[in-house]
Amino acid sequence: MMETVTAWLEGPGCFFIALGYIQNNPNRYILQMLVSTGQLYGTVLYIANEVKDGFIHGQLWDPFYFWFYFVVFNTPWLVFPTLLMVQSYMKLVQAQAHVDKTASRKKKN
């Protein structure tokens, strides 16, 4: 199921994020937050299922499967979406602060 979401929603979402960066469109941060959340959720779901099943798809401490495939290959899928979510959060907070400041100035006038 998660692969379907990735293919049909997150894939095009990545395209629109890239287009948003090229065009300097402010909605890119909202899309980036949504796609990153989906990617992080999918990775955590994959890892949790493997842990729950007791690593039946490979030996637990095998140097190739466990450390190279499971740990090394999945680490970027945990790190980068998290960093992009933090970036999106900071940009959205900054934008909201700007709107709030502008609104308070208009009320005073």
- What count of residues does the chain have? 109
> Whose CA is closest to 38, among 7, 71, 69?
7
pLDDT in tens, 14-65: 999 999 999 999 899 999 999 999 999 999 999 999 999 988 888 888 888 8
pLDDT at residue number 36: 97
pLDDT at residue number 64: 86
Q: Tokens for 89?
A: 């959060």
pLDDT at residue number 60: 83
Residues with Cβ within 8 Å of residue 9, at least 6 apart in sequence: 38
Stated pTM of the model: 0.86
Dihedrals φ, ψ of 53, to 5°? -80, -5
